[in-house]
Structure formats: structure tokens, C-alpha cells
Amino acid sequence: MAKSRAAGLSSLRRKDHATAYLMILPSLVALGIFVFTPLVMALEKSLTDWQLYQGTTFIGLENFRIVLGNSLFRKSLENMARFVLMIVPAQFVFSFLFAHVLRGMHQRAGALIKTAIYVPTVISGVVASVIFLFIFHYQGGILNWLLRQLGQKRIAFLAEPSLAQMSIAVTSIWMGFGYNSLIMYAGLQNIPQSYYEAAEVDGATPFKQLIYITLPSMKNTFILILINLMTGTLQMFDLPYMMFGGAGPVNSTLTPMVYVYNNFKSAEYSLGYTIASALLLMIVIGALNSLVFTVIGSQKSQDE
């Protein structure tokens, strides 16, 4: 009797496994066609001197060596690191603080504010670039007009390297602030209120509640936002290209994505070189995202 029951359970498990494999099969096929196959082809082409109408010549890792030795590529990585340091921490902290403000608002006022702050998220980078060019412009910009009204000299926001990078950072933060604030707000709303009530009974201060309840409970939300912010910043293209033509003052706004795009248009480098630079960027993005997963370990949600 026991053997037949065990055999029946084993057969049921095999059926469950087969059903699970059949359910994930379409996703695996799609990944194979649209992700893994292009990746293998890109790796193969990156090892060649590939001229679109002249065939390919195998050159090994020469493209990667040339990319890593290119001063403009290194400059783009340096700019990328600066943008990450300017945008990610500011966006993260401001969104977290504003989410607390939304949490304490009246329901009707909160709904209005949430709608208002989300509007920049649906605006394209091209439109946002035009808006902030009007704001930072030297002659007719709003900021310089205000400075003139206060008796101050105009500031060349778009001509000085550090200010040009700041202009892009401010534009990027403005575009993503609403989305990230709402994600933070949703994470805060998912924390059981009983946790805070129990902490108040035990005499925990608001700061201790933040450290021992809010932050640990928001780990998964933090991972989502950090991954999105870092990936978006590392792949930034539209803002620097529209606001500064892809390089800006002294290549201070040159990003790796703009660098790859410029090489693709240039007849000086082969397509294999362009693909090699794109793969190096993919490796950088993957490594940084893996670091985020390692530093902030995700956890399963716990029932109230």
C-alpha cells in the first residue's frame, strides 16, 4: 500500500515537472532566438574585422584591445561614473524622502500630487532635452534671466564641463523622480502597520523604526530601483546627444552609448570594433548590477 502511494506521488511529481517545463518552454525558445543567438553572433563578429560590404577577417581580441586603448572610450567611462555618482544617490534619496511625504498626505491631495509628479516620466528624452535647454540657455534661459533680475552675471551652464554634466543630471533626475517616488511609495505601503504599532509599544523612536523596520522591509524595492537607475544611467543616450550633440564641452558629456553610436556612423572603424565596444559596455553593466544584488540581498516577503 505504501509503495503504491509512493509510486503515485512520484508519478504526480513527474507530471508536475513536465507541466512546468512545458510552461517555460516558450520563454526559453524566445530567449534562444532573440537573446542568446544574437549574443553568440555578436561575440563572433567582435573577433573579426567586419566590413559590411567587404566580408570579414578574423583578428581575435584586437578590437577589444583597440577599444580599451582608445582615450575617448576611457573618457566615456569616466563620464559614465560621474553621472552614476550624481544621479543614482540623489534620485534614490529624494524619491525615498518624497515617498514618506506622499504617505502622510490626505488621500485626495496625495492622488493629485502622484499624478503631477508622474507626468515627467511619460515625457520623452527629446522633449525633456528641449525643455531644459530653454532653462539652462546662456542668452534666453530662465535661470540666467533670474540671475540677471537679481543683479548677477549669466552662467554658461551648457559651456562649462562640470555644469554641462550637472545639467544632464538634473534633467535625468527630473524625468525619473515621479516613477521612483511611486515605486518607493508602493514599497512603504506594503509594510504591515502592525510592525510600527508594536515598535511604538516597545518605545522605539521614529529613527529606530526607520532603521529596523522600514529599511529591511524595503530591500526588494531598493534593488528594483537601484538596478533601474544604474542600468538607465549607464545606457544614457538621448539627453547628452540632444543637449550637447553627443560630446558637449571637451567631451565632458560623452557617454559609452554615444561613443558606440558615433563609431557605428564612422567609416574609420569596422562594425566588429563597434560590437566589441558594445559588449564591453554590457560587461560593465552586468558587473555593476551583480554588485547591487550582492550588496543588497533580496528576501522573500513575510506574512503579517
> What confidence score (pLDDT) does residue 94 get?
94
pLDDT at 292: 80
Q: How far apart are CA 214 and CA 207, in angstroms?
A: 10
pLDDT for the residue numbered 5: 55
Mean pLDDT along residues 267-277 = 85
Looking at residue 299, its amino acid is Q
**In sequence order, what are the residues at sequence separation of 6 or more whose Cβ sits closer than 8 angstroms to the Cβ of residue 170?**
132
The CA distance from 242 to 141, in Å, is 17
pLDDT of residue 138: 83
pLDDT in tens, 24-79: 888 889 989 988 898 899 889 888 888 777 778 888 889 899 999 999 999 999 99
Answer yes or no: is pLDDT of 91 > 90: yes
Q: Which domains does the chain have, with CATH numbers?
A: 81-295 (1.10.3720.10)
Q: Residue 177: name the closest of 229, 255, 236, 109 by CA.
A: 229
Q: What local confidence, expressed as pLDDT, does residue 9 receive? A: 52
172 Cβ neighbours under 8 A, 6+ residues apart: 83, 87, 91, 232, 233, 236, 239
Grid cell 557617454 is found at: 255
CA angle 227, 230, 233 (to 5 degrees): 140
| Model confidence band, residue 174 (pLDDT cutoffs 50, 70, 90) | very high
- Residue 299: which pLDDT band, with cuts at 50, 70 and 90? low
Q: Which residue has the higher pLDDT, 28 or 5?
A: 28
